[in-house]
Structure 1
Amino acid sequence: MRAIILLLLFCCAVCVSAVTRSLQYFYIGSSEVPNLPEFVVFGMVDDVQMIHYDSNTRRAVPKQDWMSKVTGHDPQYWDTESRGFSNAEQVFRNNTEIAKHRFNQTGGIHVVQLMYGCEWDDEFEDIQGYYQYGYDGEDFITFDVNTETWITPVPQAVITKNKWDRDADGNTKRTKYLTQDCVDWLKKYVDYGQESLIRTVLPSVSLLQKTPSSPVICHATGFYPYRAEMVWRKDGVEIHEGVYKGEILTNNDGTFQMSVYLDLRSVIAEDWKRYDCVFQLFGVKEDIVTKLEKALIKTSETLLGWSRVTIITVIGAFVFLIAVTGLIIYRKKTVSKTPGNSAEDIICDNEDRKSLDKLVSFTKESSTLNL
């Protein structure tokens, strides 16, 4: 469980401004994590999953309708992606063993993570590309786009750094992808999926408490997009003492959930009415305010049933949580067609297809680096 705790601590919300867009790919290889695939790949645009692969299904699949249109509904594309990810799966299995050996470890839960992609500020045209590996929730090795060399904070990765630094041609290609090709495709994805990427869904908010002496939990579920905030207030002022904020988790339908805890052991019953929970969703002006009233709190068996459902959701979505919140190593609607764009208009033309082939080639290359 130690590695799982490390990973949860390692994950945090990705804060994105109104004009910053992102394209990210996550590769996650694990050993001895119960009830989860040994290898998972996610592709994300603005925190929205567009592609998925795991070692249980051994198939790459689009997760958004517009992603199918980008690839021209070409089954050969997805066959190629599946084969590439399958090869990467074996590499990650080997890399996990290599990392364990370098850290003098044997069995137990261990995770190798790769995150690469780019961020683009459409107002200032600022571009940031990154390509970084982590091991058990800690920094392992990171690519420096400016110098086209590798940086590592741990001695166990020096062998890898020296090996990858010698591949000057590969590093130059990686820089080009991160600073040019990646941004070009990010712009295309944002254009293709704009209706999905800008949609908002408000959550249902509940107050939960296990026992009379337990913290009161303000729980919001079913919201979209990922960028949200929830706080406890007293007399209309945000408070921090006695407050614990949980991570944002994903639901199976692609929406999200979050909780914030309030310790009321030192608060007399008469003062409960002075507290409320406030949920704020990016892009929505009106906040959802829930007054702290005992009659609204779900307890005992009701809470126990909720907890079971939540635990199942967390287990099923754990790896996706890692992808959605980002691996900080350095740091059910169908999409409608945009008016004026037919399916033929959205499908990639020949030039786009050539670029897509280059993107696929880089993805396969980047995912098969041996430590």
Structure 2
Amino acid sequence: MKIFILLLLSSHFAFSVKHSLKYITTASSGLPDFPEYVAAAVVDGNLVVYCDGSKNILELKYDWVKKLLENDPHQLELYKGACFGWVQTYFKSEINTLKQRFNQTGGVHILQRINGCEWDDETGEVIGFNQYGYDGEDFISFDLKTETWIAPKPQAVITKMKWDADKAKMIFSQYFLWLKKYVDYGRSFLLRTELPSVSLLQKTPSSPVSCLATGFYPHRASLVWRKDGEELHEEVDHGEILPNHDGTFQMSVDLNLSSVTPEDWTRYDCVFQLSGVKEDIITKLEKDRIRSNEVKPSNMTVLITAAVVVLALILVSAAGFIVYQKKKAISPPSSPDNSTELSEQLNPET
């Protein structure tokens, strides 16, 4: 299981208001330039708490998060315990256990966990999740329907049997209570609405045209290409929703125009829809709206390139001359006969 902090794209036809709390933990071995233990709490796609166990760093990212934990010192202590205490020790020891089960001695190994819950505040539905991955593949996950653990690897069966017997291990209600607190304290931040700027980008005249929307919030949004008002499903490539450094999000969708004549471009448009906003942002496919990052060589670039080529030739020639001089200096003296032959070759008239 490759666990990433990814944000799921909702359907653009109907949005439901969902909140999520995700705890993401990563332990590693064999990576000298990477922390051995990092953890994060993510609310509605926003990183709210970050832990680097290797450097003893625990960061609370927003003032409203600090206020929440000041009023709930028990939860703050749990974060400290997870970052600096037994949780870190547990994950590091589990890597050693898994290396033994997989008959591994050295190399790079990564153990990851993502757990938490999603809450639909319209229907009241709460869904919990807890899953582990080892070295980029599924290791074990919890099945809510059967309330048992699923072990896709034979090496995980021992863990499954032990955890199935511990019914108290899966209590998703506590995640839901913490998520409700986060939403209450961060309401002005989490429930805000920000519209994006939408641009059309094209690397070269033959490249697909990318419709980029950046700076929007929340992440419940859609971006599609349409032709004559109908959404396109072919010749398009949807990108993922990605976080920006300022807490907003961005996404893009590419349109392949290789089989479209310039006369038909006006039939296409890009449509952005944001949850809770009635009006869409529509950007028509017009040539003068497309921004390109294609770099055309200027006269100065040509001159610089030519100068570099000339300099390279000079250096090569100089290096060849030096090598020739060195060989000449260490060559043994020629016999008189050879000297005469060489003189005759260089001066055939003598």
TM-score, normalised relative to structure 1: 0.68
Q: Deviations over 1:223-280 (max 9, x none)?
A: 1111111011111111011100011111111111111111111111111121111111
| Contact 1:58-1:82 at 8 Å conserved across structures | no
Alpha-carbon RMSD:
3.3
Match status 1:259 vs 2:252: yes
1:249 corresponds to: 242
Q: What's the CA shift for 1:283? A: 1.4
CA distance in 2 between partners of 1:80 and 1:181 (Å): 12
| Contact 1:242-1:263 at 8 Å conserved across structures | yes
Structure 1 pair 37–221 and aligned structure 2 pair: CA distance change class (3 A): farther
Match status 1:85 vs 2:80: no
Q: What's the CA shift for 1:97? A: 4.8
Structure 1 pair 232–75 and aligned structure 2 pair: CA distance change class (3 A): same
Structure 1 pair 260–33 and aligned structure 2 pair: CA distance change class (3 A): farther
CA distance in 1 between partners of 2:225 and 2:95 (Å): 42
Structure 1 pair 66–269 and aligned structure 2 pair: CA distance change class (3 A): same
Match status 1:293 vs 2:286: yes
TM-score, normalised relative to structure 2: 0.71
Structure 1 window deviating more from structure 2 (181-190 vs 15-24): it is 15-24
2:273 corresponds to: 280
Q: What's the CA shift for 1:84? A: 3.0
CA distance in 2 between partners of 1:294 and 1:35 (Å): 46
CA distance in 2 between partners of 1:125 and 1:75 (Å): 27
Match status 1:119 vs 2:118: yes
1:62 corresponds to: 60
1:53 corresponds to: 51
Match status 1:13 vs 2:8: yes
CA distance in 1 between partners of 2:116 and 2:49 (Å): 14
Structure 1 pair 20–59 and aligned structure 2 pair: CA distance change class (3 A): same
Structure 1 pair 100–185 and aligned structure 2 pair: CA distance change class (3 A): same
Q: Deviations over 1:322-361 (max 9, x none)?
A: xxxxxxxxxxxxxxxxxxxxxxxxxxxxxxxxxxxxxxxx
Secondary structure of 2:259's counterpart equals: coil
| Contact 2:10-2:221 at 8 Å conserved across structures | no
CA distance in 2 between partners of 1:235 and 1:49 (Å): 40
Q: What's the CA shift for 1:40? A: 2.7
CA distance in 1 between partners of 2:135 and 2:20 (Å): 24
Structure 1 pair 161–198 and aligned structure 2 pair: CA distance change class (3 A): same
| Contact 1:52-1:61 at 8 Å conserved across structures | yes
Q: What's the CA shift for 1:25? A: 1.3
Secondary structure of 1:71's counterpart equals: helix
Count of aligned residue pairs for this structure pair: 292
CA distance in 1 between partners of 2:240 and 2:32 (Å): 21
CA distance in 1 between partners of 2:68 and 2:158 (Å): 39
CA distance in 2 between partners of 1:256 and 1:294 (Å): 26
1:207 corresponds to: 200
Greater CA radius of gyration, 1 or 2? 2
Secondary structure of 2:233's counterpart equals: coil
2:315 corresponds to: none
Structure 2: segments with no counterpart, 5+ residues: 297-350
Structure 1 pair 147–216 and aligned structure 2 pair: CA distance change class (3 A): closer
| Contact 1:246-1:259 at 8 Å conserved across structures | yes
Match status 1:164 vs 2:159: no
Structure 1: segments with no counterpart, 5+ residues: 304-371
| Contact 1:15-1:227 at 8 Å conserved across structures | yes
Code of the aligned partner of 2:247: G
| Contact 1:7-1:136 at 8 Å conserved across structures | no
